[in-house]
């Protein structure tokens, strides 16, 4: 039996048992990444798609994902690799790529406008060892590292990644404990602590997906943006907030897409206190 310390769940795993996230396993009495180097998705994306609006705009970034996630968002856009039967299948079939191979590929695609590697698509923190080992090599090749994350991990995980990660987009999915706990299976306080520490070390942008009837009130956006306004990126600039429109997907098909006017109204509310607010999927 061993305990995983990576996120608030602190799964206690028997030998050979896989954790809640599907990405970690107990082997030889210790918990390690089952998804180390197991790549399920690879694409050269515009940096704005991460989304990052104020980090090398106009560039492209080699984006890599594995499998597994420690949240259970019912509307997941990447459920095939995050949490579903298909994600479990990937644990058996995904190809293994070494940190060196991925870092070399990033350098080879520099001539296509690539600035580095984005660890994205599934939750990278549950496989932080591969992110750390690859990002170290990417940095040594003069390239950048980006992480797109739900921010659900202990600060000790962030400590491992700090020296190598240049920018992050972190989800701040809402601003009530009940939404995080009951709808997403998450822990808002862990995410807020992660964000508070992340802005001290690298460029951070945040994303809030607006779900009708869940986190779409002006009051909640006022509270959320008020908290974000107290944060500063290392260059002294305010932290950008991306407010995104929801579309029915996966296990959340019981409501229509977020009204565009709702997203625009919430962006106006956020702009009362934030310098950089962007709308997405509109
Ligand atoms: S990272 Fe995965 S195995 Fe570790 S505590 Fe979180 S859910 Fe459990």
Q: Walk along the chain (282 residues) in steps of 10 and give the mean pLDDT of each run.
A: 97 97 97 97 97 98 98 95 88 94 98 97 98 98 98 98 98 98 98 98 98 98 98 98 97 97 98 98 94
Question: Which pLDDT does position 88 carry in this prediction?
Answer: 86
Helix (H, G, I), strand (E, B) or coil at 70: coil
Q: Please tell me what DSSP assigns to residue 22.
A: S
Question: Which pLDDT does position 80 carry in this prediction?
Answer: 93
Q: Report the DSSP pairing between strands 60-65 and 241-245.
A: unpaired
**Helical spans, DSSP H, in 128-231:** 128-140, 155-161, 177-178, 188-198, 218-229
Question: Which pLDDT does position 212 carry in this prediction?
Answer: 98
Q: Is the CB of 10 under 6 A from ligand 1?
A: yes
Cβ-in-10-Å burial (0-12, 13-18, 19+) of 135 comes to: buried
Q: Report the DSSP pairing between strands 41-46 and 114-119.
A: unpaired
8 A C-beta contact, residue 191 and residue 149: no
Question: Which pLDDT does position 91 carry in this prediction?
Answer: 87
74 CA to middle of ligand 1, Å?
18
199 CA to middle of ligand 1, Å?
24
d(CA 224, CA 175): 6
8 A C-beta contact, residue 25 and residue 18: yes
Q: Please tell me what DSSP assigns to residue 180.
A: I
Q: Report the DSSP pairing between strands 41-46 and 60-65.
A: antiparallel
182 CA to middle of ligand 1, Å?
18
142 CA to middle of ligand 1, Å?
32
Q: Residue 87: enclosing H or E segment and its boundaries?
A: helix 85-93
> 5 vs 22, 26, 87, 153, 157, CA distance in Å?
15, 12, 22, 9, 9
Question: Which pLDDT does position 187 carry in this prediction?
Answer: 98
261 CA to middle of ligand 1, Å?
38
Cβ-in-10-Å burial (0-12, 13-18, 19+) of 81 comes to: buried
Can you tell me which residue has the tokens 């962030």?
Answer: 158
Nearest to 239 by CA among 226, 251, 252, 248: 226
Mutate to test the pocket of ligand 1, among 10, 126, 129, 185 (most ligand atoms within 8 A of CB): 126
pTM beyond 0.95: the answer is yes
CA-nearest residue for atom 5, ligand 1, is 10
Question: Which pLDDT does position 278 carry in this prediction?
Answer: 98
Give the list of residues 6+ apart from residue 9 with CB closer than 8 angstroms, or none.
19, 20, 21, 70
d(CA 196, CA 6): 18
Nearest to 77 by CA among 93, 61, 65: 65
125 CA to middle of ligand 1, Å?
10
Mutate to test the pocket of ligand 1, among 3, 7, 18, 124 (most ligand atoms within 8 A of CB): 7
Q: Is the CB of 70 under 6 A from ligand 1?
A: yes
> 47 vs 68, 113, 144, 148, 256, CA distance in Å?
23, 10, 12, 11, 28
> Six-digit token pair at 140?
């040594």
């Amino acid at each position: 039996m061993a305990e995983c310390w990576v996120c608030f769940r602190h799964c206690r795993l028997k030998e050979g048992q896989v954790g809640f996230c599907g990405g970690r396993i107990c082997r030889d009495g210790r918990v390690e990444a089952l998804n180390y180097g197991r790549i399920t998705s690879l694409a050269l994306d515009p940096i704005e798609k991460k989304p990052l609006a104020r980090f090398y705009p106009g560039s492209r970034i080699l984006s890599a994902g594995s499998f597994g996630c420690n949240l259970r968002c019912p509307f997941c856009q990447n459920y095939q690799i995050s949490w579903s039967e298909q994600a479990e299948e990937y644990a058996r079939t995904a190809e293994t790529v070494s940190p060196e191979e991925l870092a070399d590929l990033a350098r080879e695609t520099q001539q296509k406008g690539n600035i580095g590697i984005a660890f994205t698509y599934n939750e990278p923190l549950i496989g932080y060892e591969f992110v750390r080992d690859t990002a170290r090599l990417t940095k040594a090749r003069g390239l950048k590292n980006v992480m797109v994350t739900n921010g659900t991990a202990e600060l000790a995980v962030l400590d491992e990644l700090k020296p190598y990660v240049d920018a992050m987009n972190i989800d701040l999915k809402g601003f009530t404990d009940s939404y995080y706990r009951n709808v997403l299976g998450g822990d808002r306080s862990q995410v807020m602590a992660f964000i508070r520490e992340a802005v001290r070390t690298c460029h951070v942008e945040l994303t809030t997906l607006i779900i009708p009837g869940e986190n779409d009130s002006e009051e909640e956006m006022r509270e959320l943006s008020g908290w974000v306004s107290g944060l500063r990126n290392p260059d002294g600039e305010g932290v950008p907030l991306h407010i995104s429109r929801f579309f029915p997907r996966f296990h959340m098909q019981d409501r229509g897409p977020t009204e565009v006017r709702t997203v625009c109204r919430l962006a106006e509310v956020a702009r009362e206190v934030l310098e950089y607010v962007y709308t997405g999927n509109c």
